[in-house]
Chain A
Amino acid sequence: MKKNLVLASLLMILGISLITILPNGSIIFGMGCGFIGGAIVNFYKYFDMLNPKNKIQYEEHLKNQKINLNDERKIMLREKSGRITYIIMFVVLIIINIVFTFIGVEKWIIFTLWGVIAFKYICGVAVFYYLAKKM
């Protein structure tokens, strides 16, 4: 519950700071408004949870949240979906890069994408060996 209040306060400070420090930058202004919006939502959640009428619902919600977070089947599903997404992204990036090469996109973009692909692969191997050492 306190997390919502801390998050809301931080978002509000950040949002107001962005708007007041850089009022002319449209992207920054938009970001600031977004942060303030997030802060309002979190403030609402915090005060809604404080209401004694919502106490039972809130406790039930917390219990379900904890179960969903620690449920071993859901953990396995999250890991599996991450693995599948990793493979899909690998294939998508390679296809995009090949297409970019053929349509003559600027070289720095192509090299950056190859760099990302190489980084993904190296990162995957490094994390694998790190985990293999730990287990």
Chain B
Amino acid sequence: MVKNRLEEIRKQRGIKQEELASALEVSRQTISSLENGRYNPSITLAFKIARYFDMAIEEVFIYEEEEK
């Protein structure tokens, strides 16, 4: 399971969902889905997000093993 800190980081930097979506060339709904954990991004988009915030990918996305 992949969790992310996207909403937290975005709010810390005072960026609107629309602005982030425009910079990443994705729809605002995609940003919303990512923040709510309903959608996991592709590795390319994950890198783009991390680069946008100038952070390592692991700082934005956290992988957690699912309990069996």
Binding site for B on A (CB under 8 A): 66-68, 70-74
Q: How far is the CB of B46 from chain A (nearest CB, A)?
A: 11
When C-beta atoms are compared, the residue in chain A nearest to B27 turns out to be: A71
When C-beta atoms are compared, the residue in chain A nearest to B32 turns out to be: A73
Chain A to chain B: the 10 pairs with minimum beta-carbon distance, closest first: A73-B30, A71-B27, A71-B26, A72-B42, A73-B39, A71-B30, A67-B27, A67-B25, A72-B45, A73-B33
Query: In chain B between 1 and 50, which residues have their CB closer than 8 angstroms to a CB of chain A?
Result: 21, 25-27, 29-30, 33, 39, 41-42, 44-45
- Known A67-B21, A70-B25; 5 more pairs at CB < 8 Å: A67-B25, A67-B27, A72-B44, A73-B26, A74-B30
- Contact partners of B25 in chain A: CB under 8 A: 66-67, 70
